[in-house]
Amino acid sequence: MERIHSLYLHVPFCTWVCKYCDFNAYAVLEGLIPRYVDALAREIELAGAELPIGPLDTVFIGGGTPSLLTTAQLRQLMAPVGSIGIAPGAEITLEANPSNVTTEHVDGWLEAGVNRISIGVQSLQPDALRFLERLHSGADAIAAIRTARAGGFSNINADLLYGIPGVNLAGWLESVDAVLAEGVQHLSAYELTVESKTRLGQEVRTGLVRMPDADDQLEQYWAAAARLEAAHYLHYEISNWARPGFACRHNLASWHYQPYLGCGAGAHSMFRRNDGRTERRWNINGPHAYIKQASASGYAVAGSETLSTERARGEAAMIGVRLLEGTDAVSDFPAERTQLVRAGLLAEHHGGVRLTRRGIELANQVGAAFLR
């Protein structure tokens, strides 16, 4: 099996599960976090002993809301990660809710080795935050960025959402500008997507909420892209922008189809076997079941699939084209490549290809071309 240099840890707890969220997240289950951390530490430990993994170039602690962990709990998780081995200069990211970004927490995170923080700002508009059911204000979010920076973080990401009902183009750009004014190194702008199993999904189905149409969504997207480009951010993935040198290395690794290990409830892993086939596996979703299983055996895999070399190549191309600085991932598909270039969805770029503006708007159509 190819050696793994990336690790993802999932912390599935939130103070409140927002109505649009379809991640594997649960409202804080009283008293469950300590046992969960024990179980997760156990899983990391066992994986470290059994898999060809490390030294780690990237670690990403996501959720849920990992910033809910106490400093002690975070250290407990980082101990087995340290045993796997962390490469010098590794990127270690923690996702944080603005409400949790306090001076004490920031000190503790840095001490535990975290060097990149990703803050869920989402919006600075009070109406939008209420609509999204966020428990923090816009001012809280700005304060969180400042606290992180003041505490010593020099690699900060802000997550923003566009296409929120009731937020017009000007309102959206206000949020973008305000976050840029704080000098963040990285910005992710996601379209608010209606997932059928969420409460938002239900509200849309019953007609309670009307989502903006495709034209409005794209207008906000491209307007933000223009702002960010003017501010010298590189648009390196469909929903991601970074100052030079600050692209998220953890995500880049997976978009470049590098193997990674995921630990924690519902976490996914991707391994590349010696025969060139790709294995994806995923853990048990529910935190109770996960704790039971991982504490007992250190192993919580719920399912897996192995992709043929050909199917894996298609998947690699499907993801690879999302990287806007160009990719070679489609070189195994010359016919599709030619067709997509002719259709104006892909453009030649330094021997590889990259999505055109229209290609970005129809990226799924492009990705699907590589699947059989």
Partner 1 sequence: MSTPTKLTRAISVIAHVDHGKTTLSDRLLEYTGTVAPRDMVEQVLDQLELERERGITIKAQAVRMLYKADDGQTYQINLIDTPGHVDFSYEVSRALAACDGAILVVDASQGIEAQTLANVHQALEHHLKIVPVVNKIDLPQADPELVREEIEKVIGLPAESVIFASARQGIGTKEILEAVVREVPPPTGDPAAPLRALIFDAKFDAYRGVVTYVRVLEGTLRKGVRAQMMQTGKSFEVDEVGIFRPERTPVDDLSAGEVGYLIANIRNVRDSRVGDTVTDAARPAPTPLPGYRHVTPMVFAGLFPTDSDQYQQLKEALEKLQLNDAALVYEPETSAALGFGFRCGFLGLLHMEIVQERLEREFNLTLLGTAPTVEYRVKLRNGEEVPVDNPDHLPSPSEIESISEPIVLATIVVPSAYVGNMMQLSQERRGQYLNTVYEPGDRVVLTYRMPLAEIIHDYYDQLKSRSKGYASLDYELVGFEEANLVKLDVLVGGSPVDALSMIVDRSKAQQQGRRLAEKLKTLIPRQLFEVPIQAAIGGKIVARETVPAMRKDVTAKCYGGDVTRKRKLLEKQKEGKKRLKRVGNVEIPQEAFMAVLSLD
- The residue ranges of DSSP E strands in 252-363, in sequence order, are 261-263, 268-272, 278-283, 301-307, 346-349, 352-355
283's tokens: 């853990």
Beta-ladder partners of 271: 279
Residues 6+ apart with CB under 8 A from 69: 11, 33, 37, 77
> Whole-number minimum distance, CB 71 to partner 1, in Å?
26
Q: Answer left, alpha or beta for residue 205, where phi above 0 means left and psi between -120 and 50 means alpha.
A: alpha
Task: Please give the Cα distance from 49 to 181 (Å, whole number).
Answer: 45
> Whole-number minimum distance, CB 235 to partner 1, in Å?
14
Nearer to partner 1, 190 or 333 (CB): 190
**The only residue of 268, 277, 292, 349 in contact with partner 1, by rule CB under 8 A:** 268
Q: Which stretch binds partner 1 (CB under 8 A): 63-71, 95-103, 293-301, 317-325?
A: 317-325
Query: Does residue 217 bind partner 1 (CB under 8 A)?
Result: yes
> Whole-number minimum distance, CB 314 to partner 1, in Å?
8
**The only residue of 218, 231, 234, 341 in contact with partner 1, by rule CB under 8 A:** 218
Q: Which stretch binds partner 1 (CB under 8 A): 47-55, 70-78, 314-322, 330-338?
A: 314-322
Task: Please give the Cα distance from 91 to 120 (Å, whole number).
Answer: 19
Residue 63: count other Cβ atoms within 10 Å of its Cβ. Answer: 23
Nearer to partner 1, 90 or 319 (CB): 319
What size, in residues, is the chain?
A: 372
Beta-ladder partners of 120: 159
> Whole-number minimum distance, CB 52 to partner 1, in Å?
20
Q: How far does Cα 32 stand from its chain's mean position? A: 24
Which residues lie near partner 1 (CB under 8 A)? 8, 190-191, 193, 214-215, 217-218, 238-239, 251, 254-255, 260, 262, 266-268, 270, 280, 282, 305, 314-315, 318-319, 322, 343, 345, 360-365, 367-368, 371-372
